[in-house]
A and B are shown apart, each in its own frame.
Chain A
């Protein structure tokens, strides 16, 4: 299957700093990427939908000024956690689907996730 690479796989940062997470589709073009967050023992929650060349669509309750999403190309989307605080510590995971019409057989491909710890 197609490969989505997410980097870094884990990061520790100081409170107040910003962290950038990259999500790359390695062998296909992704017009749409999704960013999820998972707190311990909870579901993966959709944060935002990222469309190439346009502004991201954020889910209710997700601060767009805090979680900056850029999808500048068909193979790269980035999530920047700005002014990170300990409560932002979580597991962040991206997924991507290839360009073209979405059908029930169109699979979403996931990155391996990023474990963010803010100290």
Chain B
């Protein structure tokens, strides 16, 4: 079956540091890939997505590229801010599954001033 693996946290960075959160997946088909973010006390919010190989999703300075050859979708940001502190979830899903998603375990990011 499908699965998503992402690096365990917490990841602690200083403000303006470079961020990478690794995500790899196994899939039986050709899924879309997603990054969701959960700020304290809030629900998961879609951060970015990519629907096919070599697509790059980007939003709010974050980006991730759908790498079929390495089955990866690593999340990156060049300069993190304190407000980026949250839990980040990598996920995959299929168009015909009606938004049913397979999630990674989540990575907590803590950014210190």
- Tier of interface size on chain B: 20 to 34
User: Does A103 lie at the interface of the complex (its beta carbon under 8 Å from any beta carbon of B)?
Assistant: yes
User: By the criterion CB–CB under 8 Å, are B99 and A93 in contact?
Assistant: no
Of A9, A44, A104, which one neighbours B103 at CB under 8 angstroms? Answer: A44
| Contact flags B62-81 to A (C-beta < 8 A → 1, else 0) | 00000000000000000000
Query: How many residue pairs between the two chains, A and B, have CB atoms under 8 Å in the bound complex?
Result: 65
The chain A residue sitting closest to B97, CB to CB, is A102
User: By the criterion CB–CB under 8 Å, are B32 and A104 in contact?
Assistant: yes
A9 with B41, Cβ < 8 A, contacts A41-B8, A43-B104, A104-B32 known: yes
- Tier of interface size on chain A: 20 to 34
Interface residues of A in 3-40 (CB under 8 A from B): 4, 6, 9, 32, 34, 36, 38
Complex: how many Å from CA A38 to CA B46? 18
Task: Collect the chain A residues with CB atoms within 8 Å of residue B111's CB.
Answer: none
Which B residues have a C-beta under 8 Å from some C-beta of A?
4, 8, 32, 36, 38, 41-46, 51, 89, 93, 95-96, 98-106
With contacts A43-B4, A43-B104 known, what are 9 further pairs, Cβ within 8 A? Answer: A6-B43, A34-B99, A42-B105, A44-B101, A46-B101, A93-B43, A102-B98, A104-B51, A113-B43
Which A residues have a C-beta under 8 Å from some C-beta of B?
1, 4, 6, 9, 32, 34, 36, 38, 41-46, 49, 93, 95, 97, 102-104, 106-113
